[in-house]
Amino acid sequence: MSMKWRLTDRSKMLLKLELAITVPALALMAFSVWNLKHIQRDKNIEAAIQRDFQYVLKIADNKSWRKATELVEPARKEFPNIHESEAKIREGLTRILEQHPEFDYAIVYDKNCHVMVSVIQSNGEHDEDFWERSQEAINSISGWLPIEAGSMADHVRMMAERGEHEPMFYSEWVTQRNRHIYLNGAYFVPPGAGDEAALGIVSFNLDYLRNTFFPAVIKDVLNSKSNALRNEANPPAIMLHFSRDSEPWVASANWDGGKPEVERSSMEAFHDTVWAIKYTGTTVADIGAKFLRNNYLILAALTMLMIGGIFLTYRNISREMNLARLKSDFVANVSHELRTPLALIRLYAETLELGRLNSKEKYQEYFRIIREESERLSSLINNILDFSRIEAGRKEYEFKETDLSELVHSTLDTYRFQIEQNGFTFEENIAKDIPPVNVDREAIARSLLNLVNNALKYSKDNKYIGVSLYRVNGTVKIEVKDHGIGIPAAEQDKIFDKFYRCGDPLVHNVKGSGLGLSLVRHIVRAHGGDVKVESAPDKGSKFTIALPLDQMPRAGMATA
């Protein structure tokens, strides 16, 4: 029945453990895996990075527009009045170009008065290529101005009515010696124009845009506080290319080629150009994959830790439960152990009291039984008292220089008769060269008695007990040998644990408390020695107490 209870107890515990820890933990793990799968499927990480990239590009576009506006504004304010003489206008434009080397040329156009004055940046005078290109551009502009100027001016005025007084921007491609050249400029309504179809135009110098203007914008964007990706160890790389050509026109220093992750056409000032962004040396897909991989790894590690934790908890609880079971067995065993000798003592004492025994031998035998049973009782009680002292950490040893030969011999002497009475062959081998040793007499005698008592208890047909005392190197050994039932190898370690009893007590049917060997080990260790067992089932056992000669605690008291 106790077996059955044990099983249900254990499965109950397992069930609780599983419900309380394993199920929530597993649910958490499963949820995390599901979550990661979800992230993986929906490419959430990639999408988040791309959103950030979009945002950065939007800022880049906006910054380039604002910067271009800031460049044009002072020029616009100083633009000559269209009603002035052509010479005055030319003079005004020349002054503006002198003050603003970032412009290639400036134009004043008035459709009604048929005025079109254009001035080319004079510091480019000796650069034929530049001169030719600028001329080409002005020609192209003068081609479409008569058609477009009206609506362009209206557009500017409309914006001004809305409160936006900024210049507008145009861009176009001109062909110079079979090369397509990007041109970009700003237009606005010049002073004195009123409602007329009149425009002022300045055009940006390409080299200035490429070498100064855009690098500054890019630097600004990458360092900007609003850049969501600013703090990354690997900052993004940005470049600008023309819509018709995917090669970078301007790029940040860390641009390493390859396909951009996100592109955005410029909407504000530099039409026909495209902003592009990516990470250097890696792709967003890689980052997403790496994030997932790391998370899976962490999850796996956590799962391992959790399994380890559950295993440890399970083992601890198991051990506690075992101990609890052993304790309850112990109580049953000890009650029995106490009751049997008491019952015998009472029985024989009552028989003696009646005085009806007819032979002296019978009296003798009954007295002996009573004495032996009371000895058993006191040794059991001594064991229990010792044990409780040890458990409470109050066991004290009184070490004294002792003649071990004499101690072993006299201890066995009180037992010899009983051993032989029980039909045992008894051998005692005590070496002559044993030096005096510092021990607690009573404790060592009790250890020896426990071992001899076990040999008596756990022998069946082959009744033999051998006790030897000898010296090996620096130790003195006390050996107790029997030809009894032996101990399976798997249990040889455990028999020294408190309460532990081999196998099922119902099987070998020998009563005991499970305390004897744990006491022996405790006592021997308190002496700086150790106790070992060699045993084989059905062959017998040999217990050896080894006490070191040199490291013996000095004579006196010691608390264990």
486: left (phi over 0), alpha (psi -120 to 50) or beta: left
454 binds ligand ADP (CB under 6 A): yes
161 Cβ contact list (under 8 Å, min separation 6): none
The 8-class DSSP code of residue 424 comes to -
* DSSP H helical ranges for 422-484: 441-457
Residue 87 or 507: which CB sits closer to ligand ADP? 507
In the complex, least distance from residue 517 CB atom to ligand ADP, rounded to whole angstroms: 3
Each residue 22-51 as x (binds ligand ADP by CB under 6 A) or -, in order, gives: ------------------------------
Residue 100 or 501: which CB sits closer to ligand ADP? 501
Residue 154 or 391: which CB sits closer to ligand ADP? 391
In the complex, least distance from residue 527 CB atom to ligand ADP, rounded to whole angstroms: 18
Q: For residue 131, which amino acid is it? A: W
104 binds ligand ADP (CB under 6 A): no
485 binds ligand ADP (CB under 6 A): yes
Residue 237 or 515: which CB sits closer to ligand ADP? 515
Q: Which two tokens stand for residue 466?
A: 């051998």
In the complex, least distance from residue 379 CB atom to ligand ADP, rounded to whole angstroms: 11
> What CA–CA distance (Å, rounded) separates 196 from 199?
9
In the complex, least distance from residue 461 CB atom to ligand ADP, rounded to whole angstroms: 14
In the complex, least distance from residue 372 CB atom to ligand ADP, rounded to whole angstroms: 17
Residue (of 170, 180, 163) closest to 68 by Cα position: 170
> What CA–CA distance (Å, rounded) separates 205 from 104?
5
HEC profile for 10-22? HHHHHHHHHHHHH
In the complex, least distance from residue 502 CB atom to ligand ADP, rounded to whole angstroms: 3
260 binds ligand ADP (CB under 6 A): no
In the complex, least distance from residue 382 CB atom to ligand ADP, rounded to whole angstroms: 13
In the complex, least distance from residue 516 CB atom to ligand ADP, rounded to whole angstroms: 3
- CB closest to ligand ADP, residue no: 512
In the complex, least distance from residue 497 CB atom to ligand ADP, rounded to whole angstroms: 8
Q: CA–CA distance from 215 to each of 207, 209, 210, 243 (Å)?
A: 11, 8, 7, 19
The residue within the footprint of ligand ADP, chosen from 541, 544, 546, 552 (CB under 6 A), is: 541
Collapse the DSSP code of 61 into the 3-class scheme (helix H, G, I; strand E, B; otherwise coil) and give the result. helix
Residue (of 294, 285, 86, 72) closest to 185 by Cα position: 72
458 binds ligand ADP (CB under 6 A): yes
Collapse the DSSP code of 498 into the 3-class scheme (helix H, G, I; strand E, B; otherwise coil) and give the result. coil
447 binds ligand ADP (CB under 6 A): no
Residue (of 204, 215, 205, 206) closest to 237 by Cα position: 215
How many residues lie near ligand ADP (CB under 6 A)? Answer: 21
Which of the ranges 281-289, 304-312, 400-408, 506-514 carries the binding residues for ligand ADP, by CB under 6 A? 506-514
Render 123-161 in DSSP notation, one character per residue.
GGTT-HHHHHHHHHHHHHHHHHHHHHHHHHHHHHHHHHH
482 binds ligand ADP (CB under 6 A): yes
In the complex, least distance from residue 399 CB atom to ligand ADP, rounded to whole angstroms: 24
Which of the ranges 108-116, 123-131, 354-362, 447-455 carries the binding residues for ligand ADP, by CB under 6 A? 447-455
516 binds ligand ADP (CB under 6 A): yes
Residue 134 or 447: which CB sits closer to ligand ADP? 447
502 binds ligand ADP (CB under 6 A): yes
Helix (H) or strand (E) holding 88: helix 86-99
The residue within the footprint of ligand ADP, chosen from 69, 184, 513, 544 (CB under 6 A), is: 513
531 binds ligand ADP (CB under 6 A): no
In the complex, least distance from residue 505 CB atom to ligand ADP, rounded to whole angstroms: 8
461 Cβ contact list (under 8 Å, min separation 6): none
Question: How many Cβ atoms sit within 10 Å of the Cβ of residue 331?
Answer: 11
First vs last C-alpha separation in the chain? 39
Contact 79, 191 (CB under 8 A): yes
341 binds ligand ADP (CB under 6 A): no
For residue 395, what are the β-bridge partners?
none
Q: Which two tokens stand for residue 144?
A: 């479409």
547 binds ligand ADP (CB under 6 A): no
Collapse the DSSP code of 464 into the 3-class scheme (helix H, G, I; strand E, B; otherwise coil) and give the result. strand
465 binds ligand ADP (CB under 6 A): no
In the complex, least distance from residue 523 CB atom to ligand ADP, rounded to whole angstroms: 12
The residue within the footprint of ligand ADP, chosen from 475, 514, 529, 552 (CB under 6 A), is: 514
Q: Which two tokens stand for residue 284?
A: 């967003």
Residues 109-128 that bind ligand ADP (CB under 6 A): none
Q: Which two tokens stand for residue 26?
A: 């597993």
The residue within the footprint of ligand ADP, chosen from 100, 446, 463, 501 (CB under 6 A), is: 501
Edge to edge, the sheet with strand 556-559 lists 437-439, 396-402, 556-559
Q: Which two tokens stand for residue 358?
A: 């007819």
Q: Which two tokens stand for residue 22?
A: 């394993």
Residue 69 or 518: which CB sits closer to ligand ADP? 518
Query: Which stretches does DSSP call E strand in 194-258?
Result: 198-204, 236-242, 250-251
In the complex, least distance from residue 463 CB atom to ligand ADP, rounded to whole angstroms: 12
User: Which residues are at the interface with ligand ADP (CB under 6 A)?
Assistant: 450, 454-455, 458, 482, 484-487, 495, 500-502, 512-518, 541
